[in-house]
Structure 1
């Protein structure tokens, strides 16, 4: 079973080897593009989603002290605003879900870390689990990625990957 998961992940990674579209110059000139491209982390020529998730960690650390209810409201607002931003930028560049547009990784990571225990090891676990589910795209993430369009669709698959990671983190937190 684990071997089939690893094979599935490898196949999805290797099927993405098509050349990435160029990063728009506006990323360095327009604040909305800069934000949508994960504060520039999406301009990295390889693994922009991973670098986008890494860039999200300091912002998570700023949000972490918030009470859970406020954290949830902030994350919900972030998901909505990032969906609108992704829709806007995609229309401007005439490309649905540019791989460098990684504000959705921020949203997914923030979801993954909902009510996570404190500590570096939990952040590392959240990072690894979120990236695993975002790359692997188990059901329904793959379906959502392929069938829900627009800015909401660009963010939704990452939010669900974050939910999967959050559930695993909560389960591990309960048993430890």
Structure 2
């Protein structure tokens, strides 16, 4: 993880090295970091700044996941969780402020779409390769989690 800055980033600052369900560990890291940063420094971690962080983080993730995937010999290695982090930050950006239970449901919805990969997520997961592919399918999973919330809130 410390051999290259891309590994440190793509492996979620170490959260992706969890021996059990690294993607879930990365998503939990995303949730914790979003909450702590937003509460501790609300004047800095505003919705606009989170949007900028997510966009920049996405493109950094494409670069980092490309390098890490090549170095590990597996394009979408399980320890690479930056894609989950960026995607779940996106979910949290659109649903917060929200009660803890709502955030729990957002976590469950996002993990469902990320793990099960229903169409079209599975299509993008199969067809798009490299760092872009690693990052993009999780953004689509985030979109579907947000779509569920939009439908639920308007029901």
Q: Does 1:44 align with 2:18?
A: yes
Q: Does 1:159 align with 2:139?
A: yes
8 Å Cα contact 1:141/1:157 also seen in 2: yes
Higher mean C-alpha displacement, 46-55 vs 86-95 = 86-95
Partner residue, 2:94: 115
| Aligned residue-pair number | 149
* Aligned mates of 1:31, 1:69 — CA distance in 2: 26
Q: Does 1:127 align with 2:101?
A: no
Deviation at 1:31, TM superposition (A): 4.2
* Aligned mates of 1:173, 1:72 — CA distance in 2: 22
Deviation at 1:37, TM superposition (A): 1.1
Q: Does 1:149 align with 2:136?
A: no
Deviation at 1:67, TM superposition (A): 4.2
TM-score, normalized by length of structure 1? Answer: 0.76
* Aligned mates of 1:67, 1:170 — CA distance in 2: 22
Structure 1: 5+ residue runs without aligned partners? 1-26
Query: Which protein has the bigger helix share?
Result: 2
* Aligned mates of 1:174, 1:74 — CA distance in 2: 29
Query: Segments of 4+ in structure 1 off by > 6 A?
Result: none
8 Å Cα contact 2:38/2:46 also seen in 1: no
Partner residue, 1:17: none
If you compute each CA radius of gyration, which structure gives the higher value, 1 or 2? 1
Partner residue, 2:116: 136
Partner residue, 1:88: 67
Higher mean C-alpha displacement, 118-127 vs 152-161 = 118-127
8 Å Cα contact 2:23/2:81 also seen in 1: yes
Q: Does 1:56 align with 2:30?
A: yes
1:15-69 CA-partner distances (Å, limit 9, x unpaired): xxxxxxxxxxxx1554432221122121122211111111111222225854443
Structure 2: 5+ residue runs without aligned partners? none
* Aligned mates of 1:45, 1:74 — CA distance in 2: 28
TM-score, normalized by length of structure 2? Answer: 0.85
Deviation at 1:156, TM superposition (A): 0.4
* Aligned mates of 2:138, 2:5 — CA distance in 1: 23
Partner residue, 2:57: 78
